[in-house]
Chains A and B, each alone.
Chain A
C-alpha cells in the first residue's frame, strides 16, 4: 500500500508538468475544450479498475510514455474507440507495474477522424508494436514512427476497418 501511494504521488508530480499551460489553451479556445483536454484524473480503483487517468494531446503521448517507462511501468494493452458523433477516434493505453500491486494508469488521447495519426510508442515499449498494428488494422488509425505498420489480424488485402461504427458486416 505504501509503495502504491508513493508511486501515485510521483506520477501526479510527473504528469503535472504535462498539464502546465493546458489551462491557458482551454481558456483561449472554449469550443475545443473537450478535444484538447489535458488533465490528470485520479480514479477509484474498486469502481473503474484503474487509479489514474491522464488525458493528453497526441504530441504529448511520447513524453507521457517516457515518464511511465522511467518508473518501470509496462504497456498492457492499447484500445481504439470510435466516436462518430464527435468525429473522433480515441486511443486508450493501459499501463501496469510488476512490483506495485493494484495500480493501473490509463492514458487517453483523442484525434480527429479525418486525420487519425498518433505517435508510435514502439521505441519505448516493444509491446506497442503488435498492439498498435492491431489498432491500425481494426480502426485505420495511423501510428507515426511505427517501423512495420501493416495489418496483423485481417488479410493484407482487406479494404475496410471493422471496428469503425459505420462498418457493418
Chain B
C-alpha cells in the first residue's frame, strides 16, 4: 500500500499468537516485518482442531447435534440450524410453522449477542475498554432469555430434526419485547454517539484493510466481510430458508470495503435482527413445535447441501449419505475459514497496528476455523 519500494535488508519474524490477546483464541500469525511494516503475513491454523467431521461419521445423526455448538460458540444456534437444515433436507422432514418461528427468533437473538460481543472485543483490541461493559450488559439480557428456553447460555443444543425441543413461554415473549425496546433506546446513545462517531475510532479503522469486490469473489468471502465490500450477499435472501421470505428486513451493504464498512454492516444488522424478531413475535402461530420424526434417521443414499447465514457469513454443510444410520461424510464449510484466507493478501504492506485493527474487523472465531 504505502510501503516504499525497496529491498528489505533487515527483516524479522514476529509471532502473533497463538496466545496473543488480539487474536481471540488460538490463532497464530507469522508476520515478517520490516520495521513497523508487514511484508508477509502467514496464518497458522489448527491449534484447536478437533476433527469434528470424523466425529460426525462415527455416531448417528442426532449424536452430532451437541458438537455443532462447539464450533462457533458465539453464534451456536446458527450452527444448530445449519446442521438441522441439511439433515432435514436429506431425510425430507417438514418442520412445523411454530418451530420455524421459534428458530428464527432464537437465532436472531443469538446473532445480536454475537455482534455485541464482536463489537466489545473489537473495541477492546483498539484500546477502548468501556464499551465492553455496555455490550456485555446487553448481551447478558439475551443470554438470560435464551437460558430460560434452551437451558444453556453459550453452547446451545436446542434444535432437533423437525423442530425445537422446548416451547417458548409468555415470559420469554414479554422479556424479548422489553429487550427490543431497551436495545433500540441504547443503540443510538450508548453505541453510536459514544463510539461510532468517535474520531479516535474513525482514525483507527477508516480506510484500513480495504478488500476489493474481486478479492471477495476469488477467496469466497461471505457475511459482513463481503457486504462491507459492496456485495449484496446474504444467505437469508440469497438462498431463503425457514420463514425468512415471509419477513421484511434489509441487507445492509457498504461499498467502501474498509474496516469501518464492516463495522457499520454489523451495527446495522443488529437493528435488522431486532426488526426480524419483532415481526416473528407478532406473527408467531400456535401449533406443535416438533414434527413426527423417526428415532433413527436413515436418509437415502446421495448428497445434499444446505447453507445458513451465521453472524460471520455463509455456513454450508455438505452431507453424503449411504443409507446408513450415520452420515457417510459431513463437510462443514465454515465462513471464517474463507474470510481469513484473504487476510494474508490484504495485510501485505500494512503497518502492524493497522493489521490488528483489520484482523479484529474480520470477526474471527477460531474453533470454527479449525473445527
Binding site for B on A (CB under 8 A): 47-50, 72, 74-77, 79, 81-82, 92, 94, 98, 101-102, 104, 106, 125-127, 129-130, 138, 151-155, 162-163, 169
* Residue in contact with B238 in the complex, picked from A74, A82, A101, CB distance below 8 Å: A101
Tell me the B288-337 residues at the A interface (CB within 8 Å).
Answer: 302-307, 314, 316, 318, 320, 328-329, 331, 333, 337
Question: Which 4 pairs, one residue from A and one from B, show the smallest C-beta to C-beta distance?
Answer: A49-B305, A77-B333, A127-B220, A79-B331
B219 CB contacts on chain A under 8 angstroms = 126-127
Tell me the B162-216 residues at the A interface (CB within 8 Å).
Answer: 215-216
B233 proximal to A (CB < 8 A): yes
* Residue in contact with A76 in the complex, picked from B89, B314, B345, CB distance below 8 Å: B314
B21 proximal to A (CB < 8 A): no
B102 proximal to A (CB < 8 A): no
A98 near B341: Cβ-Cβ < 8 Å? no
Tell me the B31-50 residues at the A interface (CB within 8 Å).
Answer: 45-46, 49
For the A-B complex with A49-B304, A77-B318 known, give 16 more contacts whose Cβ atoms are closer than 8 Å. Answer: A49-B86, A49-B89, A74-B218, A76-B333, A79-B318, A92-B318, A92-B331, A98-B226, A106-B303, A126-B219, A130-B338, A152-B46, A153-B49, A153-B371, A162-B51, A163-B54
CA distance A4 to B318 in the complex (A): 22
B45 near A104: Cβ-Cβ < 8 Å? no
Binding site for A on B (CB under 8 A): 45-46, 49, 51, 53-54, 86, 89, 92, 215-220, 226, 231-233, 237-240, 302-307, 314, 316, 318, 320, 328-329, 331, 333, 337-338, 341-342, 345, 370-371
Interface CB pairs A-B, < 8 A, 27:
A47-B304, A48-B305, A72-B217, A74-B218, A77-B220, A77-B318, A79-B318, A79-B320, A79-B331, A81-B328, A81-B329, A92-B303, A94-B305, A94-B316, A98-B231, A98-B233, A102-B239, A126-B215, A127-B338, A130-B341, A138-B53, A153-B45, A153-B46, A153-B49, A154-B49, A162-B51, A163-B329
With both chains docked as a complex, state the minimum distance between the C-beta of B249 and any C-beta of chain A, in angstroms. 16
With both chains docked as a complex, state the minimum distance between the C-beta of A6 and any C-beta of chain B, in angstroms. 17
Q: Known interface pairs A77-B316, A79-B329. Does A127 touch B54 (Cβ–Cβ under 8 Å)? A: no
B333 near A126: Cβ-Cβ < 8 Å? no
B51 near A77: Cβ-Cβ < 8 Å? no
B333 CB contacts on chain A under 8 angstroms = 76-77, 94
Q: Known interface pairs A79-B331, A130-B341. Does A47 touch B89 (Cβ–Cβ under 8 Å)? A: yes
A49 near B307: Cβ-Cβ < 8 Å? yes
A154 near B305: Cβ-Cβ < 8 Å? no
With both chains docked as a complex, state the minimum distance between the C-beta of A69 and any C-beta of chain B, in angstroms. 9
A129 CB contacts on chain B under 8 angstroms = 341
With both chains docked as a complex, state the minimum distance between the C-beta of A37 and any C-beta of chain B, in angstroms. 15
CA distance A125 to B220 in the complex (A): 9
B342 CB contacts on chain A under 8 angstroms = 126
CA distance A64 to B303 in the complex (A): 21
A101 near B237: Cβ-Cβ < 8 Å? yes
B45 near A49: Cβ-Cβ < 8 Å? no
A106 CB contacts on chain B under 8 angstroms = 303, 305
B220 CB contacts on chain A under 8 angstroms = 74-77, 125, 127
With both chains docked as a complex, state the minimum distance between the C-beta of B111 and any C-beta of chain A, in angstroms. 21
A163 near B53: Cβ-Cβ < 8 Å? yes
B319 closest partner in A (C-beta): A49
A47 CB contacts on chain B under 8 angstroms = 89, 92, 304
CA distance A125 to B216 in the complex (A): 11
Most chain A CB neighbours (cut-off 10 Å) among B215, B231, B305, B320:
B305
CA distance A47 to B305 in the complex (A): 9
A148 closest partner in B (C-beta): B42
A77 near B218: Cβ-Cβ < 8 Å? no
B217 CB contacts on chain A under 8 angstroms = 72, 74, 98
A104 near B338: Cβ-Cβ < 8 Å? no
A152 near B304: Cβ-Cβ < 8 Å? no
B341 CB contacts on chain A under 8 angstroms = 126-127, 129-130
B226 CB contacts on chain A under 8 angstroms = 98
B51 near A125: Cβ-Cβ < 8 Å? no
B53 near A155: Cβ-Cβ < 8 Å? no
A49 near B53: Cβ-Cβ < 8 Å? no
A152 CB contacts on chain B under 8 angstroms = 45-46
CA distance A122 to B273 in the complex (A): 37
Most chain A CB neighbours (cut-off 10 Å) among B53, B86, B314:
B53
A104 CB contacts on chain B under 8 angstroms = 239, 305
B50 closest partner in A (C-beta): A153
CA distance A166 to B207 in the complex (A): 50
A77 closest partner in B (C-beta): B333
* Residue in contact with A155 in the complex, picked from B46, B215, B316, B329, CB distance below 8 Å: B46
B54 closest partner in A (C-beta): A162
